Amino acid sequence: MKFLILNGPNLNLLGLREPDIYGRQDYAALCSFIESAAEDAGVEAELFQSNHEGALVDRIQQALGVFDGIVINPAAYTHTSVAILDALKAVQIPAVEVHLSDVSKRESFRQISYAGLACCRTFMGLGFEGYRRAIFYLRDLLKGEESV
């Protein structure tokens, strides 16, 4: 099973960026965490981070026929990007949304998630752990589908 793990804008600045909200660990630490979670789950993971909406859309499109699942933290594009929502809907690859912070308890402009409309589950407010939960959730979901 092969998962694409997408991270959106400014997540490359983890550690430096608003550490009270996003923690003190950097993006490299997040990548190591995700890689070991994928290994524990027995799935292959490819990681991609971009500050550009179109680059994220391109990766979602290119995932067709290559990846079984997508874990996505679209970061700020969560709340603005119909293009990412449409790309997820177009490829129809099972996707799970992750947010490090609990966006439900933050500003009103963070209360809409466009990408979330195309995702089967959201994990938020769990820090790095959200990615682990997303990977295991997606693995179990797809295993269930395989055995039907």
The least CB distance from residue 100 to ligand DQA, in Å, is 4
Task: Verify binding: residue 47, ligand DQA, rule CB under 6 A.
Answer: no
Examine the residue annotation and report whether 99 is marked as an active-site residue of this protein: yes
Task: Verify binding: residue 76, ligand DQA, rule CB under 6 A.
Answer: yes
The least CB distance from residue 45 to ligand DQA, in Å, is 18
Distance CA 37, CA 57 (A): 25
Task: Verify binding: residue 10, ligand DQA, rule CB under 6 A.
Answer: yes
Task: Verify binding: residue 73, ligand DQA, rule CB under 6 A.
Answer: yes
Name the active-site residue from 77, 99, 114, 131: 99
65-69 long-range contacts (CB < 8 A, ≥24 apart) are 66/2, 66/4, 67/2, 67/3, 67/4, 67/93, 68/1, 68/2, 68/3, 68/93, 68/94, 68/142, 69/1, 69/2, 69/3, 69/4, 69/93, 69/94, 69/95, 69/96, 69/138, 69/139, 69/141, 69/142
Q: Which one of 29, 48, 110, 136 is in contact with ligand DQA (CB under 6 A)?
A: 110
Task: Verify binding: residue 99, ligand DQA, rule CB under 6 A.
Answer: yes
Task: Verify binding: residue 81, ligand DQA, rule CB under 6 A.
Answer: no
Task: Verify binding: residue 103, ligand DQA, rule CB under 6 A.
Answer: yes
Distance CA 60, CA 95 (A): 10
The least CB distance from residue 50 to ligand DQA, in Å, is 13
Tokens for 102?
Answer: 């609990």
Asked whether the beta carbons of 81 and 54 are under 8 A apart, the reply is: no
- Using CB under 6 A, list all residues that contact ligand DQA: 10, 73, 75-76, 78, 99-101, 103, 110
Catalytic residue ranges: 22, 99
